[in-house]
Amino acid sequence: MLLYFPIYDSYSENQRYMLEHFDGFKNKNDNPELRKCAETILSAGSAFDYISDDQLKNVTNSEKALQTANNTYQTIILPPCHYIPLETFEKTLALARNGATIIISDSLPADVPGWHGLNERREAFMNLKKELHFTETENKTIRVAKLGNGRILLGNDLLQLMSYAKIRVEPMVEHGLQFIRRKTGKGIIYFVDNRTEKPIDGWIPLSEDIQSAAIFNPMTNECGMAKIRKTQNGMSEIYLQINPEESYIIETWKSKSEGTPYPFYKIAGDEKEIDGIWSVKFIEGGPVLPKSVEVSKLVSWTDFGGEDVKNFSGTAQYIINFAKPIGKNDAWLLDLGKVYESAKVILNGKEIATMIGPRFQVAIDNKLLRDKNTLEIRVSNLMANRIAYLDRQGVNWKRFYNVNFPARYPENRKDGLFDASKWQPKESGLIGPVTLKPLETTK
């Protein structure tokens, strides 16, 4: 759907702050009614793009749908707004006359913005509103005005309006999943994200009837064909295992496609810690590379001793040798435990995954493990420790064009600007424990 951004309501406010930046919902330009519409659309399982007054000029009819910038939309939603340009309102009604369904949330706009030719524009605007003759529907919360080959829907319940307009929704949101959807010539590509606090393991419904689908994990590079089954109403479901804050890319097709199944697993036994002597070498970063060490217990590298490790921001290489665990399993779940902040996993010289959290886990096919194995984990921390070092040394590193670099918190303020010299070293590196859990393929 296209969600109209009522910019002139913001322009009309007489505020005491400087020029607004319309780059999202912030405290100053937060439009609660617009925010409510946007959140309602997303929570219902639909998707939208914002559209401005200028962009609306390029929207055309495509039978009962709308088209702009080579994209097709089901409707335009006007959120509650007081002001709307005459040209915008004229264009919206023209699209309805040519077959489109337009949704107006809450009430019709009240007036046109600006002073130039105000009386003439206002009279034309009022005449357009008089053309809309709304009648009640069987749903008492919705009124409809037929206009040419299309219609205008008006009501104070956006969910009911969307249902009445038969807007397509994705039922996966009922499982707590969020998505971005893009149509291709052969099907639909989804970006699916689990924003809940619980892992999801089960059949996820789609709004489309598909014949095949592929799953891609952008974190681990794993990919494969999805398991699909049909529902009683003819729609399709795919099987997913997705942890909190994990995401997948899913490509669907209307035709049959074959390939290796995506590897989903379940835990098949107790975990085993990879212990022994870890060789730690600092390979990139600064202000200087700390000395290499060997440790039998994983802790933050800031606790290795000395000032160099406390000031260091960069990458350290952790290497350990271990024997293959006993057991005949399909795969092993390598869990790095606590990591600050990102990790690249290399097993026997083969790069397995690069992970940025919040979970640092990757399934390793049993065939990749040898009797004797070398595990290499390259961990990079944040820049915080080095920034604190630079401020303690009085190094002028804040060289930014047209930015005064103010501090967000009072404790980070010195002479009115940001200063990190009082920061304590932040945990860094591989803290673990690093474990292996046996896995078996989900049937």
Q: How confident is the model at residue 133 (pLDDT cuts 50, 70, 90)?
A: very high
- Structure confidence at residue 21 (pLDDT): 66
- DSSP assignment of 347-392 equals ETTEEEEEE-SS--EEEEEGGG--SEEEEEEEEE--SHHHHHHHHH
Q: Measured between alpha carbons, how far is 84 from 7 in angstroms, rounded to an integer?
A: 9
Helix (H, G, I), strand (E, B) or coil at 41: helix
Q: Which residues have CB under 8 Å from 425's CB, separation 6+?
A: 300, 302, 310, 311, 385, 388
Confidence category of residue 217, pLDDT binned at 50, 70, 90 = very high
pLDDT score of 26 more than 60: no
Q: What would the two tokens of residue 101 be?
A: 């369904």
Rounded distance between C-alpha atoms, residue 287 and residue 249, angstroms: 39
Note the pLDDT of residue 298: 97
> Which CA distances in Å does 109 have to 4, 86, 141, 146, 406?
12, 11, 18, 18, 40
Q: Which of 3-17, 246-260, 339-353 has the lowest mean pLDDT?
A: 3-17
Please state, in angstroms and rounded to a whole number, the distance separating the CA atoms of residues 72 and 2: 10
Across residues 4-9, what is the average pLDDT? 93
Q: What's the mean pLDDT in 237-248?
A: 94
Task: Name the E strands within 79-148.
Answer: 101-105, 135-136, 142-147
For the chain, the maximum distance between any two Cα atoms, rounded to a whole number of angstroms, is 86
Task: Please determine, for residue 20, whether its predicted confidence score (pLDDT) is greater than 80.
Answer: no
23: helix, coil or strand? coil
29 to each of 32, 295, 393, how far by Cα in Å?
Answer: 9, 53, 40
Dump pLDDT digits (tens) for 36-80: 999 999 999 999 999 999 999 999 999 889 999 888 999 999 999
What dihedral angle (degrees, nearest 10) is formed by the CA atoms of 31, 34, 35, 37?
A: 160
Q: Is 307 helix (H, G, I), strand (E, B) or coil?
A: helix
pLDDT by residue (tens digit) across 276-290?
A: 999 999 999 999 999
Tell me what percent of the residues of the chain surpass a pLDDT of 70.
96
Query: What domains, with CATH codes, occur in the chain?
Result: 2-164 (no CATH), 171-262 (2.60.220), 272-382+426-441 (2.60.120.260)
- Omega of the bond prior to 287 within 30 degrees of 0, cis? yes
pLDDT at 150 over 80: yes
- What is the average pLDDT value for the chain, to the nearest integer? 92
Single-letter amino acid, residue 145: A
Nearest residue to 106 via CA among 12, 50, 31, 28: 31
